């Protein structure tokens, strides 16, 4: 019986995958997997664990740095983070509230600000939902099938990450601008892409494409196709298999990708700046409005909008931390 109970733990060690998730597995295995492996070959009495602990301490010793080195390193890290991350964040809020809470809310309820908020939410909703679909499809194709050109596809998915956002924006000007590739066709049909919502959504879509796919590929590769095959052989249709087996297995990874995708979609500046045309009250997203207001010396208004983006960042950060914990414990629902 002791053999049986030790089995699942030893098995946790075998399906070690790649990336961040795998590394946390490895940590867990080192934590309690060691004794479990011992136990399955020959049940060891408890005195041995005492010896193990002493041994572990002995192994750990040469690794530990002198006390002052540790303090120095920690101090530097904290000081750096305070100056470059925490302080700017505080300053954003300090500036936003510098003329009082009424001025803050007045700035946010300005029609231009409201329009920017609406546009940002709309563009984020469009690009996140489309990227959700494309990302799942791309990750599915890469993780579950073998085909020629797979490595090319993987590099292409990463392209938006490696290209400057300004270029990403310019690409769409070249495609949809008046002199662009589709320009004449669009003009003759009276469709306005550039300097309008479609252009902004397209640029955002392009820039944020990798997030969902990137979050899913390692997860889906690790999970393989066996559960899907099992579902199919049990009589499930393709859609049933996807919604009952695949989706529940990737839901936390998917949410993680969506979260990062959303943060970037709302915060994107460069690509959107190129295609937006900066029409006041119409094609300004929140990041664009922040810059415009700042350039017009409207510091309170500028930082009030900026504070919303900062809050989005904080919420994203907290949600991300919670999700990462979920992803690490994904074996126990």
Long-range pairs, 16-22, Cβ under 8 A, ≥24: 17/218, 17/221, 17/222, 18/218, 18/221, 18/222, 19/218, 20/218, 20/324, 20/327, 21/218, 21/219, 21/222, 21/327, 21/328, 21/330, 22/222
Is residue 226 within the footprint of another protein (CB under 8 A)?
Answer: yes
Q: Residue for token digits 């073998």?
A: 146
Q: How far is the C-alpha of 228 from the C-alpha of 223, rounded, in Å?
A: 10
Exactly one of 45, 50, 149, 333 binds another protein (CB under 8 A); that residue is 333
27 binds another protein (CB under 8 A): no
| Shortest reach from residue 36's CB to another protein, in Å | 11
At its nearest, how many Å lie between another protein and the CB of residue 272?
A: 38
> According to the binding rule CB under 8 A, does residue 112 interact with another protein?
no
The answer to whether 204 and 123 are in contact (CB under 8 A) is: yes
Stretch that binds another protein, among 29-37, 130-138, 238-246, 297-305 (CB under 8 A): 238-246
Provide, rounded to whole angstroms, the least separation between the CB of residue 216 and another protein. 16
**233 lies in the binding site for another protein (CB under 8 A):** yes
Nearer to another protein, 70 or 251 (CB): 251
Stretch that binds another protein, among 70-78, 206-214, 243-251, 318-326 (CB under 8 A): 243-251
Tell the smallest beta-carbon distance from residue 225 to another protein (Å). Answer: 9
Instruction: Pick the closer one to another protein by CB: 50 or 235.
Output: 235
Helices (H), the chain: 2-12, 19-28, 34-41, 47-60, 67-81, 87-96, 101-108, 111-144, 150-162, 165-176, 183-188, 197-223, 226-233, 238-241, 247-267, 270-276, 286-295, 299-328
Q: Among 194, 205, 231, 306, indicate the residue that binds another protein (CB under 8 A).
A: 231
x-or-dash pattern for another protein, window 45-74, by CB under 8 A? ------------------------------
For another protein, give the closer residue by CB, 59 or 332: 332
Torsion-angle region of residue 235: left (phi > 0), alpha (psi -120 to 50) or beta?
left
Q: Which residues bind another protein (CB under 8 A)?
A: 3-8, 11-12, 14-15, 40, 226-227, 229-237, 240, 244-245, 248-249, 330-333
């Amino acid at each position: 019986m002791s053999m049986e109970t030790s089995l699942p733990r030893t098995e946790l060690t075998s399906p070690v995958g790649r990336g961040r998730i795998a590394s946390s597995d490895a940590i867990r295995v080192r934590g309690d997997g060691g004794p479990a492996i011992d136990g399955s070959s020959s049940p060891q009495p408890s005195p041995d664990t005492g010896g193990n602990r002493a041994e572990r301490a002995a192994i750990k010793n040469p690794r530990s740095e002198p006390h002052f080195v540790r303090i120095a390193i920690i101090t530097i890290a904290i000081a750096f983070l305070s100056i470059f991350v925490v302080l700017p964040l505080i300053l954003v809020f300090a500036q936003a509230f510098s003329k009082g809470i009424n001025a803050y809310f007045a700035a946010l309820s300005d029609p231009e600000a409201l329009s920017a908020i609406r546009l940002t939410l709309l563009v984020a909703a469009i690009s996140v939902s489309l990227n959700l679909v494309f990302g799942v499809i791309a990750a599915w194709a890469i993780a579950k099938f073998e085909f020629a050109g797979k490595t090319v596809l993987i590099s292409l998915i990463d392209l938006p990450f490696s290209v400057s956002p300004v270029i990403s924006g310019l690409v769409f000007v070249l495609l949809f601008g008046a002199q662009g590739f589709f320009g004449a066709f669009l003009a003759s049909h009276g469709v306005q892409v550039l300097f309008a919502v479609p252009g902004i959504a397209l640029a955002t879509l392009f820039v944020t494409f990798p997030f969902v796919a990137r979050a899913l590929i390692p997860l889906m590769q690790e999970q393989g196709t066996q559960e899907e095959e099992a579902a199919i052989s049990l009589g499930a249709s393709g859609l049933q298999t996807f919604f009952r087996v695949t989706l529940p297995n990737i839901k936390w990874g998917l949410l993680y990708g969506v979260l990062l995708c959303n943060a970037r979609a709302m915060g994107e500046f460069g690509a959107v700046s190129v295609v937006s045309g900066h029409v006041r009250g119409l094609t300004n997203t929140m990041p664009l409005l922040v810059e415009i207001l700042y350039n017009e010396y409207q510091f309170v208004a500028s930082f009030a909008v900026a504070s919303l983006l900062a809050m989005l960042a904080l919420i994203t950060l907290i949600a991300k931390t919670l999700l990462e914990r979920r992803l690490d414990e994904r074996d126990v629902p």
